[in-house]
Structure 1
Amino acid sequence: MTRTGRVRAAAGAEWRSFVRRRTAVFFTFFFPVILIVIFGALVRTDPTGGGLFAEPPAYYVPGYLATVVLFTPLSRLGSEVARHREDNRFEKLATTPLSRGEWLLAQTAVNAAIIGIASLLILALVVALTGAEIAFSALLVPYVLVGVVCFCGVGALLGSYTDSRDGAVAASNALGLPLLFLSETFVPLSQLPGWFGPVVNLSPLTYFARGVRAATYPAAGTPAVAGVDPVLANLAVLSALAVIAFALGARSIPRTD
């Protein structure tokens, strides 16, 4: 069997496993919907022009998309790798032609499909519930795909170095929650302490948020990077980080445990 065939077979098996778990399917799509309803439809723009959610609804589109691009890969890959370790499945994997990188690629492909569907749902709900006026850019597709690759790699790292599935889920939440709100998603950089600015640049999610915002809401005035269009520049940075994260994640997956 070719490498493509191995990855396709592994991805197909993982997809069937996912759709059979109805609770997992429900909450994968339920969480971002609830977030949009609460923060987009109920907690509306502050009419005084200050505080949280004081920007137009379109400003927060990257934050809503980030809920699935960030949390779904972290939690699913973290718990999946930890589950394979607990059940000694990597020992069985080592006896097959499927490599660790191919296994992670198959998992990433399934997550990309799930998150792609969720992203379409999120965009539709944001427009319907908040009245956001957003520009639909074709570059949203590579942003979502590259973001998924990046955080699947990080999720694999968490699952490889935590001691249990519960530990992997806890670690993904502990990492994901600060990143979600401190990566120029829901909280503008102007509302954070001045010394925190350089820290924001360390988060891969920051480049996702900046690029998606530049693509969907040009009025936000996202600055160019070294004279390069912010949509392309932030995608380039995110792509480089995704390659590194995926490589480290594949390398961290144990051959046996």
Structure 2
Amino acid sequence: MTQITTTPPVSVPAASPAMPSTLKLGLSRAAAETRMFFRQRDAVIFTFSFPIILLAIFGSIFSDGLEGTGLTVSQLYVAGLIGSATMTGFQNLGIGIAMDRDDGTLRRLAGTPLPPVAYFTGKALNTLFISSVQVAILLAIGVALFDLDLPSAVSDWLTFAWVFVLGVLGSSLLGIAVSSLPRSGKSASAVIAMPFVVLQFISGVFIPVRELPEWLTQIAAIFPLKWMCQGFRAVFLGEGGVTLEPANSYELGRVALVLGAWVIGGLVLCLTTFRWKSRSDG
């Protein structure tokens, strides 16, 4: 009698679930970064209250009109501080990433499946959100307290959009690049905050550009903040503010060129200088 043997079926291992897209991971990381930001109440209060306090102080002290323009100095400050808020990413990312590197967060992330692009996307989107809220608050205060007129032309809002997006992107990339400069997370605030403060004084945030020595404005013209402020003055001060510009023009074409160059240059700097490990790790 012939015995029939049957071979048990071979079990096929289940396919591992596909990784989410880089964009989805970046959005998830952005949500996590935003949650972590709002859990630090002292940082939230300082980040949003600091430009408000500066605008209230400078706008109240320097409330005189600018001769021949129909504008006030306080309105000039609103445009300048909007530029400063747009460049918040330079300071926030520079300090935040330096601290992530110092406490080992970057080293741990490098050992996970999370793509580096998703990490940086999350940081940039979080910066975009924070800057947007700051700008919205400054505009609300400018309209309510300092008679700032919001533009009615669509072209002005389009100008605002591309200056804001290029400004946030360029300053974020620059912040990522300079995060490699501090030797430790503890020294990051001193190393990165100081040049940002200096840039604000020479780029037209606190002092009108025409009041500055020419050699200082030439230095400021190398960096993006000066051009961001100039672009926002074009949007919110209009034709009345043209006479306040050294070139008697807002030079929006040049603004776009310089900000675009900083986006490309910032990306190159990130790719060539960024470090995942702190210097103490070798």
Same-fold call, TM cutoff 0.5? yes
Partner AA of 2:102 in structure 1:
E
2:81 to 64, 70, 89: 64
> % of aligned pairs identical?
25
1:234 to 241, 252, 255: 255
Corresponding pairs, count:
248
1:99 to 110, 115, 128: 115
Q: Report the structure, 1 or 2, having the larger helix content.
A: 1
CA distance in 2, matches of 1:159, 1:107: 13
Between 1:242-251 and 1:104-113, the stretch displaced more is 242-251
* Alignment of 1:4 onto 2:23: yes
Higher relative contact order (CA 8 A, sep 6+): 1
Distance 1:255 1:195, change over 3 A: closer
Partner AA of 1:37 in structure 2:
A
* Alignment of 1:215 onto 2:235: yes
TM-score, normalisation: structure 1 = 0.85
How is 1:81-120 mapped onto 2 (pairs within 5 angstroms)?
81-120=97-136
Instruction: Name structure 1 gaps, 5 residues minimum.
Output: none
CA distance in 2, matches of 1:28, 1:230: 31
* Alignment of 1:15 onto 2:31: no
Corresponding residue SS for 1:160: coil
Contact 2:202 2:216 in 1 (8 A): no
Instruction: Name structure 2 gaps, 5 residues minimum.
Output: 1-19
CA distance in 2, matches of 1:12, 1:173: 25
How is 1:29-178 mapped onto 2 (pairs within 5 angstroms)?
29-45=48-64, 56-70=73-87, 72-135=88-151, 137-138=156-157, 139-178=159-198
Could you tell me which residue of structure 1 aligns to residue 8 of structure 2? Answer: none
Corresponding residue SS for 2:186: helix
Distance 1:250 1:98, change over 3 A: farther
Between 1:159-168 and 1:137-146, the stretch displaced more is 137-146
CA distance in 2, matches of 1:39, 1:8: 37
CA RMSD between the two structures? 2.4
2:226 to 206, 228, 246: 206
Larger Rg: 2
Q: CA deviation at 1:93?
A: 1.7
Corresponding residue SS for 1:213: helix
Corresponding residue SS for 2:180: helix
Q: CA deviation at 1:206?
A: 1.1
